[in-house]
């Protein structure tokens, strides 16, 4: 009998997780062994269930999906994280892969593609939504990296929080970092983006669809 692929679902919407459950339960070789509604919960539960694949949303309360990927991978370099997100902009794909994800699908994808992606990443392959992969290849061939491409995973996570209006103290608390560390990251981000104010950061975030205007 074929051993089932153990999957952890990470999404802050219970209704969405229920939809995943229905889809995956109809697939005889996949078993959902754990659900998490935040990045912190996913990081905490990962070691207990050791899933074959983590299906990770990026828009999560708390530390967020990209930081959750980074933490899981730092603890288990063999972890296979498949991002399943509403974000369709290439910067999110780049940052997720940089954090350690092995796959990226958008939520507008056909349900069967999620099953296909799970199978691929379990076999050790990378799986990126075909449309996104095509756009990435095209932009790379034209040398069209955005300014955000130069940010590290940690810098990008803090950039997003700054753009959303969080202050240094709030970010430090959420990421369990010191105030000084976050302040240093903020300075590095501004230097890389060649800006001086949080308003400038917000404008860049809106321009590249990181946040909505």
> Going from the N-terminus, what domains does the chain have, and what CATH number goes with each?
5-141 (3.40.50.2300), 147-207 (1.10.10.10)
Which string of b and e fits 164-202 if b means at least 16 CB within 10 Å?
eebebeebbebbebeeeebeebbeebbeebebeeeeebb
Per the CB < 8 A criterion, the answer to whether 182 and 158 are in contact is yes
- Give the strand pairing for 53-56 and 5-10: parallel
Residues 51, 31: Cα–Cα separation, whole Å: 10
Percent of the chain with pLDDT over 70: 96
Model's pTM, two decimal places?
0.86
The whole-number pLDDT of residue 144 equals 61
181 secondary structure, DSSP code: H
- List pLDDT tens digits, range 77-134: 999 999 999 988 888 999 999 999 999 999 988 888 999 999 999 999 999 998 888 8
> What pLDDT, in 10s, does the model give residues 125-165?
999 998 888 888 877 666 666 788 889 989 999 999 999 99
What whole-number distance in Å separates Cα of residue 115 and Cα of residue 120?
A: 9
Question: How many angstroms separate the CA atoms of 94 and 136, rounded?
Answer: 9
């Amino acid at each position: 009998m074929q051993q089932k692929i153990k999957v952890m679902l990470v999404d802050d919407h219970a209704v969405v997780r229920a939809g995943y459950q229905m889809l995956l339960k109809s697939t005889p070789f996949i078993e959902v062994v754990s659900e998490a509604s935040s990045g912190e919960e996913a990081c905490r539960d990962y070691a207990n269930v050791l899933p074959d694949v983590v299906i990770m949303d990026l828009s999560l309360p708390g530390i967020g999906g990209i930081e959750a990927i980074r933490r899981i991978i730092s603890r288990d370099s063999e972890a296979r994280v498949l991002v399943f997100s509403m974000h369709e902009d290439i910067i999110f794909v780049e940052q997720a892969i940089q954090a350690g994800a092995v796959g990226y699908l958008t939520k507008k994808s056909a349900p069967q593609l999620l099953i296909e992606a799970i199978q691929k990443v379990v076999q050790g392959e990378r799986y990126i939504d075909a449309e996104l992969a095509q756009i990435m290849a095209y932009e790379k061939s034209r040398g069209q990296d955005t300014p955000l491409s130069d940010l590290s995973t940690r810098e990008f996570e803090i950039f997003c929080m700054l753009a959303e209006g969080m202050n240094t103290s709030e970010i430090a608390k959420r990421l369990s970092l010191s105030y000084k560390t976050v302040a240093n990251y903020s300075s590095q981000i501004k230097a890389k983006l060649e800006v001086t104010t949080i308003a400038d950061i917000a404008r860049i975030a809106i321009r590249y669809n990181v946040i909505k205007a």
